Structure 1
Amino acid sequence: MAFTGTQDYIATKELQLAVNAAITLEKPLLVKGEPGTGKTMLAEQLAASLGTDLIQWHIKSTTKAQQGLYEYDAVSRLRDSQLGDEKVHDIKNYIVQGKLWQAFTADKRPVLLIDEIDKADIEFPNDLLLELDKMEFFVYETQELVKATQRPIVIITSNNEKELPDAFLRRCFFHYIQFPSADEMRSIINVHYPDIKQRLVDEALKAFFDLREVPGLKKKPSTSELLDWLKLLVAEDIPAETLHNKDGKTSIPPLYGALLKNEQDIHLFEKLVFMARR
């Protein structure tokens, strides 16, 4: 069954090809792109379209690769031994399965999301090379080999905060999600807000892409922020005319706090608007 997107997720032809190629090759799909371009949602919608489970492993700066395999809870075992609990004699009671273990032993081929892998230590991807390649690992405490009954579909996302090792990249199929064009963005908006007035969409898109073109922005507004902004415009019943600049000069859009997320960008934008009005 080929992935073609869902009614809730607009996937470009290039993205569809990348997903289906990774599934055919049985390799992890490494997805990069600006924050807010739907990388995480891709895994969610892929699982929904295939009618299978989604196992999510959200990576933090403190996450270790071993946690994705399993963890041995020695503290609980020590406490139980002091209390005289009988289960202390079976070490398996203190082995906590990680997300990869869950994916390897799932009854139905799942989608495994390793989200924002670039947040972890630089050695993190290298520590998973064998496990993602061979789809197996060894549990030393129980002398058990955990091997995937069927290879999970692995989606790995990155915001490009740090470079990933070549050896890791070699094992992945890569796709970069380009920022949507105005027409693609219109399709995305229509999926989320099918009853929205098109005049409001026209003016909002113009204001949004004009804002993204402002030089020097620390963080450009993303797709998810545009959707939040439109939701507010509809909720507050802001007319499309409010977003239209009849004099052709730059103006501050209403509720711009949904689009600009730090004080430097707000000050920069306000300064450019002031200069344009002079």
Structure 2
Amino acid sequence: MSQAPTPVRFKGTDTYLTHESLQAAVNCALTLQRPLLVKGEPGTGKTLLAEAIAEALGHRLLTWHVKSTTRAQDGLYVYDTVQRLYDSRFNDGDVRDIRKYIRQGPLGEAFSSPERVVLLIDEVDKADLEFPNDLLHELDRMRFRVTETGDEVVAKHRPVVVITSNNEKELPDAFLRRCVFHFIDFPDAELMRRIVDVHHPGLDGALAEQAMKIFYELRSFTRLRKKPSTSELIDWIAVLKAQGVHDIKMDEQLPFLGALLKKEQDLVSVAEAFGRGRRPRA
């Protein structure tokens, strides 16, 4: 395995705006060469963080989307027995060469890469409770053996690992001890305005202020089951611009509300609040 990389300080990118605490967490993980575990509500940029790190470091990004059925083994490799059986049945190729049917997973690809990569393991808490510890066991060893062929894959470089969690379940203490942790707070108004400026340069100042004011008012509505996120604010503003809307206010005529609220119950709750002649705060 290669020597530890020369420390590089992460400061965000032109399109991914960050703050000191998040920068410190990323740089801590880079220095210690440990996985960075990132939590936060949807829309706070957890997944995009890995893309930003890859861009800032000039590394290739590999993404592993975790499902409820995902096992750590799936990240290493998969033996495609179905394809081998198919080829055997129809005499399509030499089925004696098992290596043809070994498909590397994201971890296996990261280990085999001739250059250091950024590996995003997205929504780790969707898998069963054993998955996180099994995952870090493989990352600690940085090598694995392909049982079917006896080949050993040894990592050429330790990948930069970013792991996201939506807090759907508690993660094991042993897993947490081996990660650098950061919780991404939802952007305050100042940071959000900078984010809006990045995605909508030259946006009319009055429209930007009105949109953000309404956005945060909706987020303060305690009955919402899914609060609007940053990406939904960006999309909403894009629709307002495209439709030539220059003035908005918080009332029953609020345009394109479906771009912000994505659950029927939330739309009903807001409509009921407007019907009672008050702003949707409680």
Alignment TM-score, normalising by the size of structure 2: 0.92
SS in 1 for 2:191: helix
Give the one of 37, 46, 49 matched to 2:53. Answer: 46
RMSD of aligned alpha carbons: 1.6
- Give the Cα separation in 2 of the matches to 1:259 and 1:204: 11
Q: Does 1:78 align with 2:79?
A: no
Residues 193-235 of structure 1, C-alpha deviations (whole Å, 9 max, x = no match): 1111111111111101011111221011110110011101111
Percentage of pairs with the same residue: 56
**Does structure 1 residue 142 correspond to structure 2 residue 149?**
yes
Give yes or no for the alignment of 1:267 onto 2:274: no
Aligned partners of 2:64 and 2:103: how far apart in 1?
Answer: 15
Whichever residue aligns with residue 189 of structure 1, its letter is V
Deviation at 1:31, TM superposition (A): 0.6
Equivalent residue, structure 1, for 2:167: 160
Shift of 1:12: 1.2
Using the TM superposition, name which of 2-11 and 77-86 deviates more. 77-86
**Match for residue 101 of structure 1?**
108
The Cα shift of 1:263 comes to 1.1
For residues 105-124 of structure 1, what are the structure 2 equivalents within 5 Å?
105-124=112-131
Query: 2:3 — aligned with what?
Result: none
Match of 1:193 in 2: 200
Output the CA distance in 2 between the equivalents of 1:150 and 1:208. 44
Deviation at 1:277, TM superposition (A): 4.7
TM-fit CA distance, 1:41: 0.8
Match among 40, 43, 67 for residue 36 of structure 1:
43
Contact 1:73 1:94 in 2 (8 A): yes
* Aligned partner letter, 2:265: Q
Q: CA deviation at 1:118?
A: 1.4
1:85, CA displacement in angstroms?
Answer: 5.1
**Structure 2 CA distance, aligned partners of 1:17 and 1:277?**
43
CA distance in 2, matches of 1:100, 1:60: 15
Alignment match, 1:58 = 65
Separation (CA, whole Å) in 1 of partners of 2:92 and 2:242: 58
Deviations 1:124-157 (A, max 9, x none): 2122131022222221111122221110000011
Letter aligned with residue 254 of structure 1: P
Counterpart in the other structure of 1:235:
242
Count how many residue pairs are aligned between Structure 1 and Structure 2. Answer: 272
> What CA distance in whole angstroms lies between the structure 1 residues aligned with 2:92 and 2:225?
56
Superposition deviation, residue 276 in structure 1: 2.9
Q: Distance in 2 between matches of 1:78 and 1:256?
A: 52
Q: Distance in 2 between matches of 1:17 and 1:252?
A: 44
Q: Select which of 179, 183, 188 maps to 2:190.
A: 183
- Residue aligning to 2:229: 222
CA–CA separation in structure 2 for the residues paired with 1:108 and 1:100: 14
- The answer to whether the Cα contact below 8 Å between 1:118 and 1:162 also exists between their aligned partners in 2 is yes
Do the aligned partners of 1:138 and 1:146 also contact (CA within 8 Å) in 2?
A: yes
Counterpart mapping for 1:119-134 below 5 A: 119-134=126-141
Match of 1:88 among 95, 110, 117: 95
Cα distance per residue 1:87-120 (max 9 Å; x no partner): 3222111111110010011111100000111122
Q: Distance in 1 between matches of 2:90 and 2:260?
A: 56
The reply to whether residue 15 of structure 1 matches residue 16 of structure 2 is: no
TM-score norm. by structure 1 comes to 0.93
Runs of 5+ unmatched residues, structure 2: 1-7
